[in-house]
Amino acid sequence: MEVDFSYQSQRMNLLFSTLKWMLDSQQIGITLEELSKRVDLGEWETQHLFQEYLGKDPIRFVQDAFSPSLAQVSRQAQLSIFDLFDDSLSDSKPSIDLDIHLLEEIPSEIQYSIFPYFLGSVFIASNESGICQLTFEDSEVGSIRLRRTFPKSTIREEKTALQELAYQTLMNYFVKTEDLPVLPIAVKATSFQVSVWNELAKLPNGELTSYGAIAQNLGDINASRAVGTAVGANPIAMLIPCHRVVHQSGKVGNFRWGSWRKQLLLGIEK
């Protein structure tokens, strides 16, 4: 059954333009009343719009998005043996379960679709083995990148069940209420790139890391530059959370799909 995105698209477009405006104009001290007038909704409706997609209050989001500690890597205290039995620590786990693996051979056919999303339209491509690309259309034309990556594959616009599963995962990304199936990610990459992306996939929601920390986890403290290159080549936005990699200095840093979008993501997850 084909889903009608028209109503949801309007709401997501409104939220997207509002979030972008809040960052661009540095709306640090905005009130709920002022925000409601801006979006031409009642205060309750404005709160509901943010809660529906971000899972948090709009004013709390503003405070987090402009927090001086937004991009600071937190150093976790070393656990004692008693902490192993502390149920309060059981929520520290990845919010998305991924099966990231290399394509054994170049797929003969790849399908793609473009979906509405409150952080910008997303391009999702899949092959018979899994999702091979998920990118933001306003930052790069997804079909161009896909054809460059898979020049010998037949590429056509067609919605698949895997794409819809990936999209549903995105829709539940910040407001997850139930466990989602493991999402297969089948990418054209090097073994090193996949090892870096798997490290990213292990990060719990809201936890930040650095290039150096990933390099150390992979057993080579001198591989920070290579890690940075692998992070920048990530073809699966958000689900492989390269936005959670920040500078050790506390700077948000660059992001393939815009530093402003990275600030939004970190603000939502904080």
For the segment 121-128, the average pLDDT, to the nearest whole number, is: 96
For the segment 4-15, the average pLDDT, to the nearest whole number, is: 84
For the segment 33-55, the average pLDDT, to the nearest whole number, is: 95
pLDDT, the chain, mean: 87
- Rounded distance between C-alpha atoms, residue 101 and residue 193, angstroms: 11
Question: Looking up tokens 């037949």, which residue turns up?
Answer: 154
User: Is residue 242 annotated as part of the catalytic site, yes or no?
Assistant: yes
Q: Is the dihedral of CA 52, 53, 56, 61 positive or negative?
A: negative
Tell me, what's the pLDDT at 74?
67
Residues 6+ apart with CB under 8 A from 80: none
Q: Domain coordinates of the chain in residue numbers? A: 1-66, 98-252
Which one is catalytic: 96, 242, 246, 268? 242
CA dihedral 30, 31, 32, 33 (to 10 degrees): -110
CATH of 98-252, one of 2.20.25.190, 1.10.3720.10, 1.10.1040.10, 1.10.10.10: 1.10.10.10
Contact call for residues 115 and 8 (beta carbons, < 8 A): no
Residue pLDDT, tens place only, 144-183? 999 999 999 999 999 999 999 999 999 988 987 667 778 9
Residue pLDDT, tens place only, 86-105? 444 444 444 577 888 888 88
- Rounded distance between C-alpha atoms, residue 87 and residue 139, angstroms: 42
3-class secondary structure per residue, the chain: CCCCCHHHHHHHHHHHHHHHHHHHCCCCCCCHHHHHHHHCCCHHHHHHHHHHHCCCCHHHHHHHHCCCCCCCCCCCCCCCHHHHHCHHHCCCCCCCCEEEEECCCCCCEEEEEEECCCCCCEEEEEECCEEEEEEECCCCCHHHHHHHHCCCCEEEECCCHHHHHHHHHHHCCCCCCCCCCCEEEEECCCHHHHHHHHHHHCCCCCCCECHHHHHHHCCCCCCHHHHHHHHHCCCECCCCCHHHECCCCCCCCCCCCCHHHHHHHHHHHC
Q: What angle do CA 187, 100, 155 make, to 5 degrees?
A: 25
88: left (phi over 0), alpha (psi -120 to 50) or beta: alpha
Tell me, what's the pLDDT at 60?
94
- Rounded distance between C-alpha atoms, residue 31 and residue 47, angstroms: 12
Q: Name the more confident of 199 and 178.
A: 199
The whole model's pTM is what? Answer: 0.88
